[in-house]
Amino acid sequence: MNKGCLLVLSGPSGCGKGTVVKRLLERNPQLRLSVSMTTRSPREGEEDGVSYHFVTQEAFDKTVEQGGAMEFARCGNGDCYGTPAAPVKAWRQEGLDVLLEIDIQGYRQVKEKAPDAVGVFIMPPSFAELSRRLYERGTESEEKIRQRLETGKQEIRCAEEYDYMVVNDALEEAVKQVEAILLAEHARMEEMRTIIEEVLNDAQTISQ
């Protein structure tokens, strides 16, 4: 059985990656979402082990020191976030695909640790549309939105570092493209070497 694929999804706030992730998980039973660990307190409605793994600073630091994080970061306010390595590794070895929804700093760390990770950048169809989506949510201040758009611009400037780009114009099309990437990655020759050997061994047996 082949190892599962490690798929990293990133994209600016408002690009719709949360919805893409949700649809992907609904439609692909072989896909697992990595749950991040964080030192911040749970917010209302957040469930431990589902939204995040809520851990103490001590536990977080220990995991990082022991190489147990695929990527991690400390926010300006001191809160720490990271991706636990153990479940990712276990799932992939079971042949399950793993999805990480992280930012570019996280993606860079993951690519260092797991060069076979596949990066997909979710792109809004235009910047105007990104802006429209953020304003339409209507939950944030003008200043906060401007800040998100500025960060988004920086992220789009780094998009080239990813392996693939999916433009999220129509949700179902975007989801299908990510699924196609997963399927294609499983058909890459590097994944298939053992099959060549098997068929050639089979040929040997038949010729005898």
Between 26 and 173, whose beta carbon lies closer to a second copy? 173
Between 54 and 164, whose beta carbon lies closer to a second copy? 164
What 3-state class would DSSP assign to 124? coil
**Contact between 107 and a second copy per CB under 8 A:** no
Return the amino acid letter for 62. Answer: K
- Distance between CA 159 and CA 150 in Å, rounded? 15
**Contact between 164 and a second copy per CB under 8 A:** yes
Return the amino acid letter for 36. Answer: S
Helices (H), 7-49: 17-27
**Contact between 3 and a second copy per CB under 8 A:** no
**Contact between 202 and a second copy per CB under 8 A:** yes
Q: Which of 68, 131, 133, 140 binds a second copy (CB under 8 A)?
A: 131
Tokens 């038949």 found at? 206
**Contact between 176 and a second copy per CB under 8 A:** yes
> Interior CA angle at 175 toward 171 and 178, to 5°?
140
Burial 136-153 (b: 16+ CB within 10 A, else e): eeeeeeeeebeebbeebe
**Contact between 162 and a second copy per CB under 8 A:** yes
What residues make contact with a second copy under the rule CB under 8 A? Answer: 120-121, 123-124, 126-128, 131, 149, 153, 156-157, 159-160, 162-167, 176-177, 179-181, 183-185, 187-189, 192-193, 195-196, 198-200, 202-203, 206
